[in-house]
Structure 1
Amino acid sequence: MRSSTGVKGLLPLACLATSVLGGNILSTSGFSQCMEGGTVQVKNLDVSYDKDSRVLTFDVAGTSDKVQNVTAELVVTAYGKIVYTKDFSPCDTGMPQMCPVPAASFASQGNQTIPENYASQIPAIAFSIPDLDGLVKMQLKDADTGENVACVESTVGNGQTLQTPIISYVAVGMAAAALLLSGLAGIAAGGHPGASSPSPTFGEVIGWFQGLAMNGMMSVQYPQVYRSFTANFAFSTGLVPWGQLQTGIDNFRARTGGNLTSDSYEYLKNNATLVYSDGSGNTTTSGKLVRRALETVLLWTRDGTSVTVNGTSANIGEDSGSSSNTTSSGNTRENHLVSGIQGYVEQLQIPSSNTFLTVLLVFAIICGAIIVVILLFKVILEAWSMFGNIPKSMESWRKRYWWRLAKALTNLILLLYGTWTLYCIFQFTSGDSWAAKILAGVTLGLFTAVLAFFSWRIYTKAHQYKQLEGDASKLYEDKDTWVKYNLFYENYKKGYWWLFVPVIVYMFAKGCVIAGANGHGLVQTAGQLIVEAVMLIVLLWARPFQRRSGNWINIFIQVVRVISVVCILIFVEELGISQTTKTITGIILIVVQCILTGLLAILLVVNALINCIRENPHRKARKAAEKNKLERDLDDLTPLDARNSLLMEPMAQRPGVPGPPPYSDRKGRYDPVPRDHSPALGSERSLSRPPRFGREDDGARLVSDAASMGRRNDRSVSRSPDRQPTLPDVYGRAH
């Protein structure tokens, strides 16, 4: 027996990914033929091992084309390395019915006890580590010629996996928290033009989760632990496992040209065992399965074994003389070979041909919920306005709720556009329902048209503002424009308002590369690496976000995306990298992505605390602007300014008010300034001479007198000797 030291060296790394309380059972999960044209065909293979009782339970069945003596070679691999091998003959294990193998159907089942010295060699962590990565393979050879006559291999698992609802619930909670904080930030801004949301925003969190999900959709040789990890984020792309929904979609497909034989919810649930290929389309040779097992020892002893040939059974062991008509229970589940997008969605029990329709119905449900919530809020505001005074900000919302509704739906389209492109193209290439293909084409064209329309409108507005004012700052300063279109560029600096267009192109390109090159892992990975690297270069060059935190967070997210694609390149079958390296890379990738996800969660908590503690920055900015405006207004007051106190109150004496203002007569009137005197010279005549009104030129004199006030006497005399500046008799004109 070979040592398992190499496998034990990988176990501490695997523990970094997660800590899962496992059971004490190791069992096979399906099987596949690793040889074509063999004279012996295995029809069933079901083996399980209980750690507590050290009992191995097996159920094997098959057929043979001719009578022949065979020997068997059992090979157990873990993470691509052979950890156990054993050669034996059915004749040496006390099964005379199988020595030689008859030209008939045969089956063997029973319970066998593994000796303690062998059972102790199985690491305890093998029963708790999630998504074991190993393989058990048995080859039957002709005892006389040594030629292979059969080959079968199977995966082993302990029931533990990283595809767990807990991770999905945590991710959903993060997305909900980001949505709530983004909404509160918008309400706090009060529609203030130019106000940006703190990072991470709802769109950034959902975009990160979508990236994790799309990383698991490429046609490469993933370690099973990483495939299971990425499945937890399928909700962000619109994939929600729902049995009744899938049954309804199956019925729709059946009426519109779909084939449900091996592509339906019932088939996946009851009859199929998923076996992942390497993504190249060749799934008939050994060594191209993604699922592996960690370590187990299949030992043949003589305890309680039952062998059946053509329905006649005999118990092998100490009491081998007894017989019965026991047959193999049989495993009715078939091996279903999958890869790429199909493998990703079908592990969620969503048939590949149902993928687009599932996303479409989930999208329709979300749209319906948004419409109901907005209309309900509209009804509440209408009732509020009937029985009281609603705030000014809510009044604006009440009057423009249709636009708010359209904006919310457009935002949803923008969030899903990349994955929507992926699913539509996948439906075009792999779907079987003509109706689903038509819906995919119509919706993709509609979504693209909506985004193109808004892009054109924003560009048109920016072009108009540039012509009038030299730049596009009005996109941020004009409230009406801001309320309509800010969802596309609100977090960008004024000079980079246009960056939302490259972002839309980036999302479209990602969906096209993954779906268009489905089945070609190297092409997918290379294309994704180019797309992600170009976006990283754009972010590093422009640093377009208004907030410094937004720049750093988005650049960090993009760096991790590029690193993720580089790691996925290691999983490509054509590069021939060892399984051990792939598994270690997968675990490291999980750790890195979990760290970034945790940092995003911490930042969400920090943003929530900041919003609760400090004063709203938008309100503070508005107060400062109002204060500065008031100070400027007080500095530039003139005697004729409408804000001047002389024009705000009559100057005549009234009951209860002290005497007339200084430098006026008893009626509060002022004397005109004489031509040869000015107030600056202190002439008493200029302050005591009463004004004269009633002539036709009173209005002209009033304007000319006011215009000459404050000028030096010598200049006013020299330039216009006939001008006599006077102060306006406001009180007299009023009477």
Structure 2
Amino acid sequence: MWRTVVALTSLSLLPTALGADILKTSGFSNCNNGSSTIKVNNVDISFDRSTNKIQFDVSGTSTKEQEVTAELVVTAYGVQVYQKEFDPCNDSTKVDQLCPVPEGTFAANGTQEIPSEYTDLIPSIAYSLPDLDGSAQLVLKAKDGQQLACIQSGVTNGKTVEVPAVSYVAAAIAAAALAVSLVGAAATSGHPGSSSSSPGFSEVIWWFQGMAMNGMHSVPYPTIYRSFSKNFGFSTGLVSWAGLQKSIDSFRSHTGGNLTDASYEYLRNSTLVFSDGSTVQTTTGIVRRTVSLFLRDIDTSINGTTPDSDDDNSTESHLVKGIQGYVEQLTIPETNTFMTVLLVFAIVVAIIVVGILLFKVVLEAWSLFGQFPKSLTTFRKEYWRVMAQTITSLIMLLYGVWTLYCIFQLMHGDSWAAKLLAGVTLGLFTAILAFYTWKIWSVVRKLKKLEGDVSALYENKETWKKYKIFYENYKRGYWWLFIPAIIYMFAKGCVLAAGDGHGLVQTIGQLIIEALMLILLLWSRPYNRKSGNWINIIIQIVRVLSVVCILVFVEELGIAQTTKTITGVVLIAVQSGLTVILFLLIFINSIITCCKENPHRKRRKAAEKHLSPDLEGDAFLMEPAPYKGSPPRRARLRSDSAPSYEPVRAQALARFGPRFNDDSQEVLVKGAAGMGRSGYRSVSQDRSEADGSPPPLMREPKLPNLGFEQYRH
């Protein structure tokens, strides 16, 4: 009885199938104008290629009994590929449940075999390609042509680029980058001027954040790219679980929030409908639908005599776009977005604080029972500074996406408390970065005034330890580049959040920002290492190209859907390739960091090497003439009872150094002292020579000891 419907449905799967041997619908939405007398609550259709059978589960309600005609329209990549109109009461297309449509509730589920004449029309590529763009629309009309119901659904074969493994691999790459960065920092031992390898942890996270933000524009993405960009949501703090979302819903409900159509429970049972008509189902009822689609005999009912007609099985269609569409695919309600990121940030900060304090306790316990490495002494004494710098680095890492979510919350949030937290935290983070910028700028002004350059930023140990997180990878002449980097992150977040709903404005704004940053990098090439310059320039080039590709997706330009899909595939290939390259370069640069001397340290050693000969020459000039010995005849003049002469240094000389007002007099006095000293040395001098210690740098004139003490009164 369902032969015609099944056949037409199988055709609808043709353009939208994604990849395996099973094609099935993926959610549905009501596309009527709100005046429908027939409402469909649930539609699940699945086709198995191996058996040529289709399984279906349909339920709905009708306000009255009426005869209808049905029209099926199938589109693929924006092109209508099939259209068929049929009468459910016609003998050739008989459908008992729709002839006529009963008053009240109705439901049907079961299996039917599809004729090969229809299944052969489905190309093999439909079972192997992920995330194909397409939809099937079923319209029920009254005999007079009035539209009674409209249902639209996408289909899938279960193959998609949105898989947990991609997120896990991306997280593993980020973890590896963090580990390599820590190893590199340990290898340099915090020496002033030492830089970390590039790309490091920050570059990797910023790259992942960029790919996630590329999926937040208010444009009709190809399904394949929309699914791909979701894999990197974790890098922006979008990590969701039921308990967290329910807690945020409770918080919002007590602070002015409306949970009617903006809550976790509502979202998990909704079908997301994008502007191009594609649908995504976020409900956890996928398992329930899978069970209901097991092979079984037809079991129909009228007037709701089976559980399938229960309202719990119905789903709501939810129109989304832009940032809302991105976060709600991850089962995070639009109004919960900021609070989710805030709580994840708080958890990470708590882990950092507890970890540092715990390590401090371990070091203290270690010091009681043994001696720990000297390299850990600085951490033991300055763990508070390490903690503050780590949190500041985290703020720097998230500043761009934090700006995005805070502005988005202020524009779309419904809880006054959440809006207050968004404004306060954005102001606090901006103030922290502005404070460090001001401090570094003040230090630079003082250094230029006193020394004429900013070398002390890299050579002074205390200054380096305080501010290195902002400029450690930059050349000395480009220490200031962290300032445009902060502005760049802030501008990206502002444009994306403030332009939400206006895809063309967002994309052009992002393109300008990315292009300006690329020009800055090409002009300055600010990184210490050539590899760092090339890697970051390549990353920025790919960012610019990514935004250009997103410009192809903009609806106002009217570019064909097939072109958009091809562009999406190319974009995925480029971004995935660069991600793999970054993963390999992380380890290559770590080896370079460990084996190749840092350029700052190399310059410092060269300066010390040139300084050493000068110091040796000065020391030679200050060395007294060596003792040549004395005639033997003078030895008898020495009195054994004569006390040795021990000069007492003048306090003024000891404090302020020798005076050089009259060089000629000083030479004469020294010469006289040397002549009178022939054969008679003080005890202190004899001891110093016996010990092998050098003579004091500040020498004083002495009177010669001629042994006349015995003739005194």
- Aligned partner of 1:73 in structure 2 is 71
How many residues align structurally? 643
SS of the residue corresponding to residue 492 of structure 1 reads coil
User: What aligned pairs does 1:694-733 form with structure 2 within 5 A after superposition?
Assistant: 732-733=681-682
Deviates more, 1:229-238 or 1:108-117: 108-117
Among 319, 326, 329, the alignment partner of 1:347 is: 329
- Aligned partner of 2:465 in structure 1 is 483
- Aligned partner of 1:561 in structure 2 is 543
Offset at residue 154 of structure 1 (A): 0.9
Distance 1:132 1:392, change over 3 A: same
- Aligned partner of 2:284 in structure 1 is none
Offset at residue 550 of structure 1 (A): 1.3
Q: Distance in 1 between matches of 2:665 and 2:369?
A: 55
Matched residue type, 1:185:
G
Q: Deviations over 1:191-234 (max 9, x none)?
A: 22111112101111111011111111111101121111111111
Higher helix share: 2
Deviates more, 1:230-239 or 1:76-85: 76-85
SS of the residue corresponding to residue 502 of structure 1 reads helix
Percent identity of paired positions between Structure 1 and Structure 2: 54
Among 81, 84, 87, the alignment partner of 1:86 is: 84
- Aligned partner of 1:657 in structure 2 is none
Among 377, 381, 395, the alignment partner of 1:395 is: 377
User: What aligned pairs does 1:69-468 form with structure 2 within 5 A after superposition?
Assistant: 69-92=67-90, 93-95=93-95, 98-101=98-101, 106-143=106-143, 145-146=144-145, 148-269=147-268, 271-276=269-274, 278=275, 288-289=277-278, 310=303, 331-468=313-450
Answer yes or no: is the 8 Å Cα contact 1:522–1:572 preserved in 2: yes
Q: Deviations over 1:369-423 (max 9, x none)?
A: 1111211222233233344444443222221111111111111111011111111
Deviates more, 1:487-496 or 1:22-31: 22-31
The reply to whether residue 532 of structure 1 matches residue 532 of structure 2 is no
SS of the residue corresponding to residue 232 of structure 1 reads helix
Distance 1:106 1:248, change over 3 A: closer
- Aligned partner of 1:583 in structure 2 is 565
SS of the residue corresponding to residue 45 of structure 1 reads strand
Matched residue type, 2:243:
Q
- Aligned partner of 1:599 in structure 2 is 581
Distance 1:402 1:97, change over 3 A: closer
Distance 1:266 1:505, change over 3 A: same
Q: Distance in 1 between matches of 2:659 and 2:531?
A: 57
Answer yes or no: is the 8 Å Cα contact 1:466–1:472 preserved in 2: yes
Distance 1:9 1:601, change over 3 A: farther
SS of the residue corresponding to residue 60 of structure 1 reads strand
Offset at residue 482 of structure 1 (A): 0.5
Answer yes or no: is the 8 Å Cα contact 1:218–1:518 preserved in 2: yes
Offset at residue 723 of structure 1 (A): 9.6
The reply to whether residue 33 of structure 1 matches residue 15 of structure 2 is no
Q: Distance in 2 between matches of 1:185 and 1:705?
A: 53
Distance 1:436 1:695, change over 3 A: closer
SS of the residue corresponding to residue 380 of structure 2 reads helix
Deviates more, 1:610-619 or 1:504-513: 610-619
The reply to whether residue 523 of structure 1 matches residue 505 of structure 2 is yes
Matched residue type, 1:77:
T
User: What aligned pairs does 1:654-733 form with structure 2 within 5 A after superposition?
Assistant: 663-665=628-630, 732-733=681-682
- Aligned partner of 2:702 in structure 1 is none
SS of the residue corresponding to residue 546 of structure 1 reads coil
Say what the alpha-carbon RMSD is for the aligned residues: 3.9
Distance 1:45 1:391, change over 3 A: closer
Q: Distance in 1 between matches of 2:594 and 2:372?
A: 24
Q: Deviations over 1:274-325 (max 9, x none)?
A: 222x3xxxxxxxx544669xxxxxxxxxx9767655469xxxxxxxxxxxx8
SS of the residue corresponding to residue 121 of structure 2 reads coil
Q: Distance in 1 between matches of 2:89 and 2:75?
A: 26
**TM-score, normalising length: structure 2:** 0.81
Q: Deviations over 1:572-631 (max 9, x none)?
A: 122222211111111111111001111100101212344566678888777766655545
Answer yes or no: is the 8 Å Cα contact 2:15–2:134 preserved in 1: no
Q: Deviations over 1:164-187 (max 9, x none)?
A: 121111111111111112122222
Q: Distance in 1 between matches of 2:649 and 2:334?
A: 91
Matched residue type, 1:208:
W
- Aligned partner of 1:572 in structure 2 is 554
Deviates more, 1:112-121 or 1:386-395: 386-395
> Where do 5+ consecutive residues of structure 1 fail to align?
15-19, 279-286, 293-302, 313-324, 652-660, 671-691, 711-715
Offset at residue 139 of structure 1 (A): 2.6
Answer yes or no: is the 8 Å Cα contact 1:44–1:60 preserved in 2: yes
Q: Distance in 2 between matches of 1:515 and 1:538?
A: 24
Q: Distance in 2 between matches of 1:515 and 1:550?
A: 31
Q: Distance in 2 between matches of 1:220 and 1:704?
A: 80
